[in-house]
Amino acid sequence: MAQIDKAERRQQILAAARDVFAKRGYHAAKIDEIVAAAGVARGTFYLYFEDKRGIFEEIVDRAFARLGMAITRVDPAAPVEDQIKDNIRRIVGVLLEDKATTKILLSDAVGLDPGFDRKLLVFYEEVGKLLRESLTDGQALGIVAPGDAQILAVLAMGAMKEILYQVTMRDLALGEEEIVEAIYGFLSRGFLRV
């Protein structure tokens, strides 16, 4: 076995774990399958990661970090349409770029155990807070419909999560820009025209 840079080996195991978790789900993913996929022995895994839970958590944390980077605050003083669309575009981009990780985030990490549930809720709460504040600003300017900004934020996040969940789990053949436009249109105007 060729000597490999430590960081690179870590990366290699991380990528294998991501693929196996995405394919099997957290519990059905066995360490033996991960190390086989990484082309490494069982013991090596434990040199680089605490345990199964640890590596899974790292995958999720990195994904959240990437997602967090993609989201920026909307300035309600400037025209909002492009700002909103850009946010949606970046989020969709990050999630479709690595579908294995997205499946892990939206499916495997859900309902793992109470501890992990809390981690997810905290992340969504942070994103929700940002969104809520933007909505509240918008309401003050009259460009966002009145109503509980907290609920609106949750509904908006849910819509996005679901379309990306469906695109990831079934292979809905949708282009990125098509998804972005659909989300934007839905969030901004809903669908009734009575």
Partner DNA sequence: CCGGCCATTGACACCCGTGTCAGTGGGACC
Partner DNA sequence: GGTCCCACTGACACGGGTGTCAATGGCCGG
Q: Which residues bind DNA (CB under 7 A)?
A: 1-4, 6, 9, 29-32, 40-44, 46-48, 51-53
The packing angle between helices 114-140 and 52-70, to 10°, is: 10
Shortest CB 108 distance to a second copy, Å: 4
Q: Is 178 in the site for a second copy (CB under 8 A)?
A: yes
How far apart are the C-alpha atoms of 140 and 162, rounded to whole Å?
A: 29
Tell which one of 155, 171, 176, 177 touches a second copy (CB under 8 A): 155
Pair of tokens at residue 80: 């909002």
40 binds, among DNA, a second copy, none (CB under 5 to 8 A by kind): DNA
Structure tokens at 134: 């933007």
Helix (H, G, I), strand (E, B) or coil at 105: helix
Ramachandran class of 78: left when φ > 0, alpha when ψ lies in -120 to 50, beta otherwise: beta
Site for a second copy in 14-43 (CB under 8 A): 24-28
Contact 36, 60 (CB under 8 A): no
Q: How far is the CB of 14 from DNA (least distance, A)?
A: 13
Nearer to a second copy, 11 or 83 (CB): 83
Q: Which H helix or E strand runs over 45? A: helix 42-48
- Residue 50 DSSP code: S
Q: Which is nearer to DNA, 29 or 152 (CB)?
A: 29
Residues that bind a second copy (CB under 8 A): 24-28, 80-81, 107-114, 117, 121, 124-125, 135, 142-145, 147-148, 150-152, 154-163, 165-166, 169-170, 172, 174, 178-179, 182-183, 185-194
